[in-house]
């Protein structure tokens, strides 16, 4: 079942340690087949070196396992809430990458300081609000997804392909699983650059809005002209 999607999810998961986005088992990638509504995701607690196509669980959008013998990631319910709320995304990654976690633990959104940021994110990278005691103690992973979705009430998730969950870490998404991993890697670089920018100049103002829009639109949307066609 979904062998092509499983291959994409496997390769995307294997990229996480290769790109220094995770240590141990601190991360997971999933992908969705929109026709069936089935999601392929990393199994819980399995080290990356032991992942195989056969080890990847398949779940439906209600979290029921429809194929596989291993328990899906403990973050599965968060992934499912994002797939339900953001119908145009095809892959999701959650990491505890070093720079992303630092901003998340500080409870700060990442300001838009330059064109490196603007090439991939059309605004600041948001940080979620505090979760309530009830949200944490009842359906924690489900509520994590809901808090992320709440943060995008007036934002386009395709223009801002990631978020920091306060005191937790980053979630990113994309057109497919590998695109989500690419966005996670970019966000980690942006988080590092923003920190050092503030060390050098304090909390400077955001990028010129015309420059922000120019750099984002060069790569995204119907008028994009970056790359080969």
Residue 225's pLDDT band, with cuts at 50, 70 and 90, is confident
Which structural domain range is residue 151 located in? 3-219
**32-78 pLDDT tens trace:** 999 999 999 999 999 999 999 999 999 999 999 999 999 999 999 99
120-162 pLDDT per residue, tens: 999 999 999 999 999 999 999 999 999 999 999 999 999 999 9
pLDDT tier for residue 219 given thresholds of 50, 70 and 90:
confident
Torsion of CA 213, 188, 127, 40, to 10 degrees: 100
228 in any annotated domain? no
Q: Which pLDDT score is estimated for 208?
A: 85
Binning pLDDT at 50, 70 and 90, where does residue 229 land? low
Q: Does the residue 227 lie in any domain?
A: no
Provide the whole-model pTM: 0.94
Q: Catalytic: 195?
A: no
**Quick check: is 85 in a domain?**
yes
Average pLDDT of the residues in 86-112: 97
The answer to whether residue 200 sits within a structural domain is yes
- Selecting among 20, 88, 130, 226, the annotated active-site residue is 226
- Return the CATH number at 21: 3.40.225.10
Sign, Cα dihedral of 88, 85, 131, 125: positive
What are all long-range contacts of 206-213, with beta carbons under 8 Å and residues at least 24 apart?
206/111, 206/112, 206/113, 206/124, 207/112, 207/113, 207/114, 207/115, 207/117, 207/118, 211/115, 211/118, 212/112, 212/115, 212/118, 212/122, 213/118, 213/122
Query: How does pLDDT run across 12-25, given as a tens digit for each residue?
Result: 999 999 999 999 99
Q: Is 226 a catalytic residue?
A: yes
d(Cα 110, Cα 74) in Å, to the nearest integer? 26
Residue 4: exposed, middle, or buried by beta-carbon count in 10 A (0-12, 13-18, 19+)?
Answer: exposed
Q: Is 18 inside any structural domain? A: yes
Of 33, 48, 119, 123, which one is the catalytic site residue?
Answer: 119
Say if 224 falls within a structural domain.
Answer: no
Number of domains composing the chain: 1
């Amino acid at each position: 079942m979904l062998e092509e999607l499983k291959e994409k999810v496997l390769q995307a998961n294997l990229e996480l340690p290769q790109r220094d986005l995770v240590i141990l088992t601190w991360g997971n990638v999933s992908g969705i087949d929109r026709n069936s509504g089935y999601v392929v995701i990393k199994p819980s607690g399995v080290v990356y070196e032991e992942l195989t196509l056969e080890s990847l669980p398949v779940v439906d959008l209600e979290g029921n396992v429809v194929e596989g013998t291993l328990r899906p990631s403990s973050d599965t319910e968060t992934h499912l809430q994002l797939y339900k709320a953001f119908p145009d995304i095809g892959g999701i990654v959650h990491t505890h990458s070093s720079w992303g976690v630092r901003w998340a633990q500080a409870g700060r959104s990442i300001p838009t300081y330059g064109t490196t940021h603007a090439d991939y994110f059309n605004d600041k990278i948001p940080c979620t609000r505090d979760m309530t005691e009830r949200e944490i103690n009842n359906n924690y992973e489900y509520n994590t997804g809901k808090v992320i979705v709440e943060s995008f009430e007036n934002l386009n998730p395709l223009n801002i392909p990631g978020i920091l969950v306060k005191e937790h870490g980053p979630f990113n998404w994309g057109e497919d699983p590998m695109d989500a991993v690419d966005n996670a890697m970019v966000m980690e670089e942006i988080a590092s650059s923003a920190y050092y920018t503030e060390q050098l100049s304090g909390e400077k103002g955001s990028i010129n809005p015309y420059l922000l829009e120019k750099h984002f639109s060069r790569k995204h949307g119907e008028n994009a002209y970056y790359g080969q066609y």
